Amino acid sequence: MSKLITLEEFIIERQHDFPFATGELSRLLSAIALASKVVNREVNKAGLVDITGAAGEENVQGEEQQKLDVYADDVFRIALEAQGEVCGIASEEQEDYVQFNSDLNSDSKYVVMIDPLDGSSNIDVNVSIGTIFSIYRRVSDANGPVQLEDFLQKGDQQVAAGYVLYGSSAMLVYTTGNGVNGFTLDPSIGSFYLSHPNTQIPKSGKIYSVNQGNFHTFPQGVKDYISWCQESDKESNRPYSARYIGSLVADFHRNMLKGGIYMYPSTAKAPNGKLRLLYECNPLAFLAEQAGGTATNGKQRIMELQPTELHQRVPLFIGSSEMVAKAESFGVVNN
């Protein structure tokens, strides 16, 4: 039986991986962990919304029932602002970035990008959903307000990234550039315990994740790769299995543990793909590469892309390195 290590103990132990670590990033990660426990508690009650009052109506306590993704956005923003190490946040739920103005935050050195509750359309059907976050050092003058340039940094500049998966159990998986570690929540005592140390994505796998419903509008290279996945070939373990939950964090997490590729290519409806560069693709790309995997837009590393706007979308091919390379060999980008 290996020693139980809590997330807090782990963060402190690993703080020494950082030269000149002064504990700020550790405290920031702890604030994210705290917020995720609060969100997890509400997500677990989601099924009772019909009894306690649907989103937007009053519940039996007479409180205004918030949509869970709006609620999650509030919880993470409040936790990060109160914690004091973040000077601004960009969220999938907010049109523009939010500047933290209090004396506690205005000269803080980190900014956070977050998708507070990705896949929230799955809540009503009790499918796993997730939070995705990305942390950077600010680059603008520390004496002034946070600027847009602080948020439009390449993924290679990330200091840390991670996700929370609200699934059959709640898990927090993150990296600070020294490998990927996963923690599972014991809800009875509210502690995350190290359950997936130094996670590595298998170099190859038998799972491909894509919305087949868009098949006819995919670039020809994507169609050819999917058809290749479906051909019989014992030597290369084909046909692969198609697994698509429609919840990015859940699909990514499964592929990370078992091996596989997740694809959201360009489509007729979404010529640049559907997923957001800043708070979905970059953080998952950081995790994928730290776990020995790959993340590209079909031709270029996701983390090399220069963002131009907060809610920018890019095509995403992410997961086992050999599978992403094979997909790219079919020329999966727009013709």
Q: For strands 241-242 and 207-209, give the pairing.
A: parallel
Q: Which of 81, 118, 150, 289 binds ligand P6P (CB under 6 A)?
A: 118
Cβ closer to ligand P6P: 93 or 251?
251
Half-sphere exposure of 106 (CA within 13 A, CB side): 6
Alpha helices, DSSP H only, in 68-215? 68-83
Name the one range near ligand P6P by CB under 6 A: 145-153, 228-236, 240-248, 285-293: 240-248
When asked if residue 274 is in the footprint of ligand P6P (CB under 6 A), the reply is yes
User: C-beta of 245: minimal distance to ligand P6P in Å?
Assistant: 7
CA dihedral 162, 183, 7, 122 (to 10 degrees): 60
| Ramachandran class of 310: left when φ > 0, alpha when ψ lies in -120 to 50, beta otherwise | alpha
Cβ closer to ligand P6P: 10 or 208?
208
Map the footprint of ligand P6P across residues 43-102, applying CB under 6 A.
none
Encoded one letter per residue, x for contact with ligand P6P by CB under 6 A and - for no contact, window 164-193 reads ------------------------------
Name the one range near ligand P6P by CB under 6 A: 51-59, 114-122, 135-143, 181-189: 114-122
Cβ closer to ligand P6P: 73 or 251?
251
When asked if residue 248 is in the footprint of ligand P6P (CB under 6 A), the reply is yes
Can you state the angle between helices 220-230 and 321-329, rounded to 10 degrees?
120
Q: Hey, which residues does 137 pair with through a beta bridge?
A: 110
When asked if residue 272 is in the footprint of ligand P6P (CB under 6 A), the reply is no
Q: Which of 246, 304, 309, 329 binds ligand P6P (CB under 6 A)?
A: 246
When asked if residue 334 is in the footprint of ligand P6P (CB under 6 A), the reply is no
Q: Taking the mean position of all CA atoms in its chain, how far away is CA 290?
A: 14
Name the one range near ligand P6P by CB under 6 A: 83-91, 100-108, 243-251, 325-333: 243-251
Give the end-to-end CA distance of the chain in Å, rounded to a whole number: 54
When asked if residue 273 is in the footprint of ligand P6P (CB under 6 A), the reply is no
Number of residues engaging ligand P6P in binding (CB under 6 A): 9
d(CA 185, CA 134): 21
H helix or E strand, kind and range, residue 265? none
Q: Which of 121, 198, 237, 241 binds ligand P6P (CB under 6 A)?
A: 121
DSSP labels, 144-187: S---GGGTS--GGG-SEEEEEEESSSEEEEEESSS-EEEEEEET
Name the one range near ligand P6P by CB under 6 A: 55-63, 104-112, 115-123, 150-158: 115-123
Query: Exposed, middle or buried: residue 82 (CB in 10 Å: 0-12, 13-18, 19+)?
Result: middle
Can you state the angle between helices 248-258 and 282-290, rounded to 10 degrees?
10
Cβ closer to ligand P6P: 132 or 172?
132
| Ramachandran class of 179: left when φ > 0, alpha when ψ lies in -120 to 50, beta otherwise | left
> CB within 8 A of 122, min separation 6: which ones?
128, 129, 245, 246, 247
When asked if residue 254 is in the footprint of ligand P6P (CB under 6 A), the reply is no
Name the one range near ligand P6P by CB under 6 A: 32-40, 221-229, 246-254, 291-299: 246-254
Name the one range near ligand P6P by CB under 6 A: 76-84, 117-125, 149-157, 182-190: 117-125
Map the footprint of ligand P6P across residues 189-228, applying CB under 6 A.
211
Per CB under 6 A, residues contacting ligand P6P are: 118-119, 121, 211, 246-248, 251, 274
